[in-house]
A and B are shown apart, each in its own frame.
Chain A
Amino acid sequence: MATPSSAHTTAPAALNRGQMLGLALVFAVACALPFVVSNYRVFQFTLALVYAIALLGLNMLTGYNGQISLGHGAFYAIGAYVAAILMDKFGVPYWLTIPAAGAVCLVAGFLFGLPALRLEGLYLSLATFALGVAMPQILKYKGFEHWTGGVQGIVIVKPDPPEWLSLTQDQWLYFVVLACLVVLFVIGWNLLRGRIGRAMVAIRDQPIAAQVMGVNTALVKSLTFGVSAMYTGIAGALGAIVIQFVAPDTFTIFLSISLVVGIVIGGLASISGAIYGALFIQFIPNVADQISKAAPWAIYGVFLIVFMYVMPSGVAGFIRIIIGRLRQRRQR
């Protein structure tokens, strides 16, 4: 018996016609968006897209592979610093820093993933938590200060759009990030619905059975960690370029926690969930701040609880259930 809610435990299937149409529509809206809202809003949406990339990375690791990371902000920070240092100290053009940040984080994530193999569940989340907590202080370390700028951080010049395009800087950055997001989402989607994606889910649900089936658990887990860190690192680089500034205080443990909040709210093991989660972590704190100046984080907490109560499988799961119900009704 196939119930709609069982869908989120398996790797994503190929798209049907309706979903294709829906996606095309979403993409069209995303392209039109920067022309109808103010530059400040474009900037906010750009940040949301950046978070979406980071969330997809974390979701691969936590949602699909079942490894909980409370320290992904560290990889976001590494990506951001790689981009900032390359631009500031070596004059590398901004678009080249994005793959560079991804490559560095892929290696960093893979290397961190190797020892982390010995740690399961909560122990792994504590190890990653340690990484996240340590990162701001590592960035302030005086041995690196020549590169990182210490507590003062690094200010980056905002990239200009190519001259033949009559876009503002904010609109241009939005499209750069959107392009990265589309590429990374297509790659992620291909990865997750194929052999590797199935292996990842199998390791999450039945590690012993997966091993018996011939899945190289250690390799898949480390690779997942690496790819996940790569996505988050690319997001970090884009985030640094959009914000035009990196400093250790940007990458506190709260960033890591926000990312976890994002994937849970968006929907674990869901690709589209990354977008919903990103919109949540970008906009809900502002909404909360507008409701109450005195206790914005209490309001934020209320939002979290309400979301979890109303949508226990995240926004993506909620939408899936609604669509399933509508379909059933139509079939009757």
Chain B
Amino acid sequence: MKFSPIRRASLLAFAAALAVAAAPAAAQKKYGPGASDTEIKLGQTMPYSGPASAYGTIGKLHTAYFKMINEAGGINGRKINLISLDDGYSPPKTVEQVRKLVEQDEVLALFQTLGTPPNSAIHKYVNAKKVPHLLLATGATKWADPKNYPWTLGFNLSYQAEGTIYAKYLLKNKPGAKVAILYQNDDYGKDVLKGVKDGLGAAAAKMIVAEATYEVSDPTVDSQIVTLQGSGADTFINITTPKFGAQAVRKAFDSGWKPLHIINNVSASVGSVLTPAGLDKSVGLLTLQYYKDPNDPQWKDDPAMLEWRAFMGRYYREGDPKDASNLYAYLTAQTMVHILKACGNDLTRENVMKQAANIKNLKLPLLLTGMSLNTSPTDFFLVKQGQLAKFTGTQWQGFGEVLGTAD
């Protein structure tokens, strides 16, 4: 699982190939709004205040990361200037701030605007204005719709893709499974559910024996678990947010059901879900991961992890090295830098979008081994793969191959 020198070499070779590819473009320089000989202006909104302010660390890490890039000479000699504004996770504020970024600050592109509701509010606007709306920090599936929204490209493994991968895993490893599904009754829950059903395909009608839903306002999901258990299912796909995830894990164990239990990534946090549920009751849970977990001891001496930790110590000391959001933010910043480098000296909004839609086999070292990022003009799903992980009682342990939606 360690990072082999061969992989390192192939990465270097890849980077070199990129540099060569970019070279011919150096002949003529083209600039769109927000780009010049000395600067590349990016914009983002982040919930530095409000209900989702825990995610604000992502924007802070980006600022620190670009500072590091700039100190090392920037991108082809141009410094990245990230204008990161607070929207408090409030859609109207996002609209206001994004209009400021686009109309007043004239940024070249938007980068990692966070949250589904805030991004929904600006989706039409940025596409009408033809501003690259890149690497959105949300898992909703609608961000990959190049036909209707050619300027929007998300980052996260989509909820549907996650569901599909669970389904593919079951088809391969437990084709006779009798599946029970619990999901949160909103767009997120339905998104994952749709992925599962699409993944199972024709087998869905036969394999899914029970479905139950809950509302975010429900006190517990105990009765739903009992109902699902009563259906005789031997496999349980748990599509819940942390509080309900913990309840479901505990109840599924305490009731003596003990199915093959798949819990979605949203609720895979050891600290906020499995610990309150009981670590002993969580043994054997499955989930999906796509980047390395900073708390997983198997990556303790991983070169990519060491590099990240060094960065955290040097440029972002106030950040929490246990918080996976900081690793996620590092990955997304690297992806953005990759796109900007690929643009060469043609820094127009059209070319930024073109490069973002033509990422080929980008293997970032903090992604799980064997994974790569890919897009094409007709496919805006950047992350399409993940690896299943099993909970050992103390941590998640990845196993098996990297799985994709296409497999």
Residues of A at the B interface (CB closer than 8 Å) are 38-41, 43-44, 47, 137, 140, 142, 150-153, 155, 239, 243-245, 247, 249-250, 252, 254, 289, 293, 296-297
Flag if B91 contacts A247 (CB, 8 Å): yes
Q: Is the C-beta of B320 less than 8 angstroms from some C-beta in chain A?
A: no
Given A40-B100, A40-B104, A142-B185; A151-B116 close (CB under 8 Å)? yes
Give every chain A residue within 8 A of B49 (Cβ-Cβ): 296-297
Give 20 new A-B contacts, CB below 8 A, not counting A142-B185, A152-B116, A296-B48: A39-B99, A40-B100, A47-B92, A137-B216, A140-B186, A150-B187, A151-B117, A152-B187, A153-B120, A155-B120, A155-B124, A243-B91, A244-B95, A247-B120, A250-B90, A252-B90, A254-B50, A289-B85, A293-B84, A296-B86
Report the bound CA distance from A254 to B84 in whole Å.
22
Given A239-B92, A296-B86; A40-B187 close (CB under 8 Å)? no
Report the bound CA distance from A151 to B115 in whole Å.
12
Q: Is the C-beta of B260 less than 8 angstroms from some C-beta in chain A?
A: no
Query: 13 A-B residue contacts at CB 8 Å?
Result: A38-B103, A41-B104, A150-B187, A151-B116, A151-B187, A153-B91, A155-B121, A243-B95, A249-B90, A249-B117, A289-B85, A296-B48, A296-B86
Report the bound CA distance from A44 to B84 in whole Å.
19
Report the bound CA distance from A250 to B51 in whole Å.
12
B209-267 contacts to A, CB under 8 A, are 215-217
Q: Is the C-beta of B125 less than 8 angstroms from some C-beta in chain A?
A: yes
Q: Is the C-beta of B37 less than 8 angstroms from some C-beta in chain A?
A: no
Q: Is the C-beta of B96 less than 8 angstroms from some C-beta in chain A?
A: yes
Flag if B90 contacts A40 (CB, 8 Å): no
Residue of A nearest to B190 (CB): A150
Nearest Cβ on chain A to B146's Cβ, whole angstroms: 18
Nearest Cβ on chain A to B34's Cβ, whole angstroms: 15
Q: Is the C-beta of B65 less than 8 angstroms from some C-beta in chain A?
A: no
Report the bound CA distance from A158 to B362 in whole Å.
39
Contact partner of A38 (CB less than 8 A), chosen from B89, B96, B104, B120, is B104
Q: Is the C-beta of B123 less than 8 angstroms from some C-beta in chain A?
A: yes
Contact partner of B48 (CB less than 8 A), chosen from A150, A243, A293, is A293
What 0/1 pattern do residues 45 to 60 of B give for CB contact below 8 A with A? 0001111000000000
Report the bound CA distance from A243 to B117 in whole Å.
13
Flag if A152 contacts B96 (CB, 8 Å): no
B158-202 contacts to A, CB under 8 A, are 185-188
Nearest Cβ on chain B to A73's Cβ, whole angstroms: 12
What 0/1 pattern do residues 77 to 92 of B give for CB contact below 8 A with A? 0000000111011111
Contact partner of B215 (CB less than 8 A), chosen from A43, A142, A289, is A142
Report the bound CA distance from A41 to B216 in whole Å.
38
Nearest Cβ on chain A to B389's Cβ, whole angstroms: 28
Report the bound CA distance from A187 to B227 in whole Å.
59
Give every chain A residue within 8 A of B90 (Cβ-Cβ): 249-250, 252, 254
Flag if B217 contacts A137 (CB, 8 Å): yes
Flag if A47 contacts B120 (CB, 8 Å): no
Contact partner of A43 (CB less than 8 A), chosen from B84, B99, B123, is B99
* Most interface-central of A137, A239, A245 (chain B CB within 10 A): A245
Flag if B116 contacts A243 (CB, 8 Å): no
Residue of B nearest to A40 (CB): B103
Give every chain B residue within 8 A of A152 (Cβ-Cβ): 116-117, 120, 187
Residue of B nearest to A289 (CB): B86
Give every chain A residue within 8 A of B96 (Cβ-Cβ): 43-44, 47
Flag if A153 contacts B92 (CB, 8 Å): no
Report the bound CA distance from A246 to B90 in whole Å.
10
Nearest Cβ on chain A to B295's Cβ, whole angstroms: 27
Give every chain B residue within 8 A of A43 (Cβ-Cβ): 96, 99
Give every chain A residue within 8 A of B215 (Cβ-Cβ): 142
Residue of B nearest to A152 (CB): B187
B26-80 contacts to A, CB under 8 A, are 48-51
Give every chain A residue within 8 A of B120 (Cβ-Cβ): 152-153, 155, 245, 247
Given A137-B217, A142-B215, A153-B120; A250-B86 close (CB under 8 Å)? no
B132-158 contacts to A, CB under 8 A, are none
Report the bound CA distance from A39 to B50 in whole Å.
27
What 0/1 pattern do residues 99 to 117 of B give for CB contact below 8 A with A? 1100110000000000011
Flag if B91 contacts A249 (CB, 8 Å): yes
Nearest Cβ on chain A to B332's Cβ, whole angstroms: 20
Flag if B95 contacts A249 (CB, 8 Å): no
Flag if A247 contacts B121 (CB, 8 Å): yes
Nearest Cβ on chain B to A151's Cβ, whole angstroms: 5
Flag if A293 contacts B91 (CB, 8 Å): no
Report the bound CA distance from A245 to B123 in whole Å.
10
Report the bound CA distance from A181 to B88 in whole Å.
28
Give every chain A residue within 8 A of B86 (Cβ-Cβ): 289, 293, 296
Report the bound CA distance from A184 to B116 in whole Å.
35
Give every chain A residue within 8 A of B100 (Cβ-Cβ): 40
Report the bound CA distance from A291 to B216 in whole Å.
37
Nearest Cβ on chain B to A167's Cβ, whole angstroms: 16
* Most interface-central of A44, A153, A289 (chain B CB within 10 A): A289
Report the bound CA distance from A155 to B116 in whole Å.
13
Report the bound CA distance from A44 to B92 in whole Å.
11
Give every chain A residue within 8 A of B216 (Cβ-Cβ): 137, 140
Give every chain B residue within 8 A of A38 (Cβ-Cβ): 103-104
Flag if A244 contacts B124 (CB, 8 Å): yes
Give every chain A residue within 8 A of B185 (Cβ-Cβ): 142
Flag if B103 contacts A245 (CB, 8 Å): no
Report the bound CA distance from A205 to B124 in whole Å.
50
Give every chain A residue within 8 A of B117 (Cβ-Cβ): 151-153, 247, 249-250
Given A38-B104, A40-B104; A245-B116 close (CB under 8 Å)? no
Flag if B48 contacts A39 (CB, 8 Å): no
Report the bound CA distance from A239 to B216 in whole Å.
28
Give every chain B residue within 8 A of A293 (Cβ-Cβ): 48, 84, 86
Report the bound CA distance from A297 to B100 in whole Å.
20
Sorted nearest first, the 5 A-B pairs with minimum C-beta distance are: A40-B103, A245-B121, A247-B117, A243-B92, A249-B117
* Most interface-central of B103, B104, B215 (chain A CB within 10 A): B103
Nearest Cβ on chain A to B36's Cβ, whole angstroms: 20
Residue of A nearest to B188 (CB): A151
Report the bound CA distance from A150 to B191 in whole Å.
14
Nearest Cβ on chain B to A1's Cβ, whole angstroms: 47
* Most interface-central of B48, B84, B121, B186 (chain A CB within 10 A): B121
Report the bound CA distance from A43 to B92 in whole Å.
12
Nearest Cβ on chain B to A240's Cβ, whole angstroms: 9
Give every chain A residue within 8 A of B217 (Cβ-Cβ): 137
Nearest Cβ on chain B to A57's Cβ, whole angstroms: 18
